[in-house]
């Protein structure tokens, strides 16, 4: 109800200014202090909105909150625009003002949203969208390593944030900042040349499984063999200098990894533009040079670094951000600073973004805190631009420890997703047998895939991303509680109603409601735009999950208590509108979370 909230805020503030004009002039109170403090009512019996401003105004105006509330209400009752949409306001307690929207207004709003494919969510104009480019940096696996469960959160949280911003009309650049550069490639290329030289001429000789084994073997050689370590370091130099064979080996490693990553992205329906660390390699030296010109760079123990302001270590000395290591190599911070400059610079020398969102685990919080401070002190972040770290916690097993396989290995992401699909398939087969239903193999495969992946995504996104969460197949695949199957089942129920009622809904009709469950559902549906804007600002997808779960519960109460298909007109058509609107909201909301939906399950 974003529009009505803004309208009421203006009207209540005007009522305050008119009611206390003399007091405001006498005490020279700033208008900024005349905050009406409007918020959604905490309970249905209090109406739709609650005005709490009278309590804080009492100290400024030197009157009791009740007197102030009386004066505000008197002014609102004289306001014709206010009276068009609201019932007479009611004062409660020491000075709270409860506001209830008129039923006629609620009907007008729900009909308007039912006819709008965006369901009433305000969308940026094209000109505003172009000047509000947003970069979402997420997923970011390392080349020559398999994606594991730790990449799950970054990938699906980043995707859902990108989807919501795109829906709102922002120009979103989805970047996959893959680890495709650094000393590990010297190690890998050296090992590749030693044990599989034919891979440099025949791409099919190596797949990701081999590369993962290669990585472990190469690391072992690097740790124990001095000659191998020396060759690896020389190979890094060759790579940085553009040696033809080294570049060919590097490209091979990247392309093989990319193919395996894409299988997972296709399975999860994730769209990304790969731009690895190597992209920023040409800009690293200028980062060092420019920080030196600005007087921010300090040489400490052979390394060039920037000491942070207000951030100290255990010895109470300022912590450094290392820009160039003592051996002449660059650090992750250097790459991230080069990336910030490029991303916030206008085209053609940059991406022209005004907001950059980094979706990584909470363990990198201090890293980004340091990088952001250096970038701000260097004035590489324009005043109208923002850089934000979106941290998330660990995925834990049901024992509360970091999720691992029985052998103690990190869980491969493809194994986790495959198991989710297989478990969803077995649950579906068991349910079909219990119900005596016959379905095709294609139906079983499709439903299993949608439900399995939806369960994994929703279980993650429904948690506050800042905290750790415990991974449980049984819990996430349940048809009860705040789970994807519960929401999908509600959507399937609505799809069934729509199939049965396709010839019943009249285009021209009188819309009427009189049951409390109808009004509760209408009010819940009208909250959708508020939730989307809230997620856009706070970057917390669980807000949308919680809303969709609550909407499903409100709909199920409506469906259980109010007849739909057996109702007389105009109530039948009116209730069918609510069913369709609920279905559209659930489907759109799940889509914004990156979750596919079903007509039957």
Domain count, the chain: 4
Distance CA 280, CA 181 (A): 10
Are residues 67 and 9 part of one domain?
yes
Pick 193 or 378 by higher pLDDT.
378
Across the chain, mean pLDDT equals 90
Query: Do 259 and 315 belong together in one domain?
Result: no
Per-residue pLDDT tens digits for 130-166: 578 999 999 999 988 889 888 999 999 999 999 999 9
The 10s digit of each residue's pLDDT in 471-491 is 999 999 999 999 999 999 999
Residue 505 is predicted with a pLDDT of 61
Q: Which residue in the block uniquely carries the two structure tokens 């009010």?
A: 523
Q: What is the mean pLDDT of residues 308-328?
A: 91
Same domain, 296 and 379: yes
Residue 39 or 548, more confident: 548
Q: Is residue 13 part of a domain?
A: yes
pLDDT for 277: 94
Q: Alpha-carbon dihedral of residues 587, 589, 595, 601, nearest 10 degrees?
A: -30
Strands 273-274 and 171-176 come out as parallel
Evaluated on CA atoms 212, 214, 215, 219, the torsion sign reads positive
For 28, which DSSP code?
A: T
pLDDT of residue 364: 96
Looking at the fold, whether 253 and 335 belong to one and the same domain comes out as: no
**pLDDT confidence of residue 453:** 98
CATH number of the CATH domain containing 329: 3.40.50.620
**Number of C-beta neighbours around residue 118 at 10 A:** 15
- Could you say which of 363, 392, 421 is where a domain stops? 392
Average pLDDT over residues 103-121: 92
pLDDT in tens, 523-582: 999 999 999 999 999 999 999 999 999 999 999 999 999 999 999 988 999 999 999 999
The pLDDT value given to residue 126: 66
Mean pLDDT (whole number) for 172-197: 90
267 with 287, same domain?
no
| Cα dihedral across residues 420, 167, 114, 541: positive or negative | positive
The pLDDT assigned to 184 comes to 86
Statement to judge: residues 265 and 309 lie in one domain: no
Q: Is residue 434 part of a domain?
A: no
Which residues make beta-bridge pairs with 179? 142
> Which residues lie closer than 8 Å to 560 by C-beta, 6 or more apart?
none
Q: Which of 229, 249, 271 is the endpoint of a domain? A: 271
| Alpha carbon distance 218, 226 (integer Å) | 12
Q: Which domain covers residue 376, as residue numbers?
A: 280-392
pTM for this model (two decimals): 0.91
Token pair of 444 as six digits: 């079983």
Query: Quick one: tokens of 42?
Result: 């905490």
Based on the fold, state whether residues 248 and 328 are members of the same structural domain: no
CA angle 29, 30, 35 (to 5 degrees): 100
Q: Is position 125 within any domain?
A: no
């Amino acid at each position: 109800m974003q529009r009505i909230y803004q309208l009421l805020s203006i009207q209540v503030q005007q009522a305050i200014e008119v009611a206390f004009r003399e007091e405001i002039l006498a005490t020279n109170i700033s208008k900024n202090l005349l905050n009406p403090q409007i918020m959604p009512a905490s309970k249905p019996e209090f109406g739709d909105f609650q005005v709490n401003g009278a309590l804080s105004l009492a100290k400024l105006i030197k009157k009791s909150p009740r007197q102030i509330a009386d004066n505000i209400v008197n002014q609102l009752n004289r306001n014709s625009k206010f009276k068009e949409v609201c019932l007479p306001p009611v004062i409660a307690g020491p000075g709270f003002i409860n506001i209830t929207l008129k039923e006629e207004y609620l009907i007008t709003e729900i009909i308007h949203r039912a006819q709008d494919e965006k369901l009433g969510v305000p969308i940026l104009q094209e000109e505003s969208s172009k000047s509000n480019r947003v970069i979402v940096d997420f997923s970011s696996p390392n080349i020559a390593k398999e994606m594991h469960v730790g990449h799950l959160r970054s990938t699906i949280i980043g995707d859902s944030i990108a989807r919501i911003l795109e829906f709102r009309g922002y120009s979103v650049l989805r970047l996959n900042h893959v680890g495709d550069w650094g000393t590990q490639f010297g190690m890998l290329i050296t090992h590749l040349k030693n044990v599989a030289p034919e891979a440099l001429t025949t791409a099919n000789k190596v797949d990701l499984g081999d590369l993962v084994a290669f990585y472990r073997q190469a690391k072992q050689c690097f740790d124990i063999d001095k000659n191998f370590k020396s060759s690896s370091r020389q190979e890094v130099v060759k790579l940085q200098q553009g040696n033809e064979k080294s570049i060919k080996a590097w490209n091979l490693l990247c392309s093989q990894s990319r193919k395996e990553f894409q299988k997972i992205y296709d399975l999860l329906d994730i769209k990304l533009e790969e731009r690895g660390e190597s992209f920023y390699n040409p800009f690293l030296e200028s980062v060092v040079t420019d920080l030196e010109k600005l007087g921010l760079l300090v040489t400490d123990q052979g390394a060039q670094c920037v000491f942070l302001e207000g951030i100290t270590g255990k010895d109470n000395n300022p912590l450094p951000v290392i820009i160039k290591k003592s051996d002449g190599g660059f650090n992750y911070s250097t790459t991230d600073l080069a990336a910030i400059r490029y991303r916030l610079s206008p085209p053609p020398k940059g991406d022209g973004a005004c907001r950059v969102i980094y979706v990584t685990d909470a363990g990198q919080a201090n890293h980004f805190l340091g990088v952001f401070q250096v970038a701000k002190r260097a004035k590489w972040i324009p005043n109208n631009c923002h850089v934000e770290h979106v941290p998330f916690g660990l995925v834990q097993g049901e024992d509360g420890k970091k999720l691992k396989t029985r052998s103690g290995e990190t869980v491969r992401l493809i194994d986790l997703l495959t198991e989710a699909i297989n478990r969803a398939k077995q649950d579906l087969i068991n349910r079909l047998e219990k119900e005596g239903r016959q379905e095709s193999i294609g139906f079983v495969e499709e439903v299993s895939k949608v439900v399995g992946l939806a369960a994994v995504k929703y279980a993650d996104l429904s948690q506050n991303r800042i905290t750790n969460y415990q991974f449980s197949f049984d819990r996430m695949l349940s048809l009860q509680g705040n789970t994807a199957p519960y929401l999908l089942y509600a959507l399937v129920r609505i799809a069934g109603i729509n199939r049965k009622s396709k010839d019943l809904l009249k285009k021209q009709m009188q819309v009427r409601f009189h049951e409390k469950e109808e009004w509760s559902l209408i009010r819940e549906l009208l909250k959708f735009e508020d939730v989307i804007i809230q997620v856009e600002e706070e970057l917390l997808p669980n807000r949308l999950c919680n809303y969709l779960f609550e909407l499903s519960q409100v709909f199920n109460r409506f469906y259980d208590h109010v007849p739909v298909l057996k109702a007389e007109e105009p109530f039948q058509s009116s209730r069918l509108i609510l069913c369709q609107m609920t279905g559209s909201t659930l489907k759109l909301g799940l889509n914004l979370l990156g979750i596919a939906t079903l007509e039957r399950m």
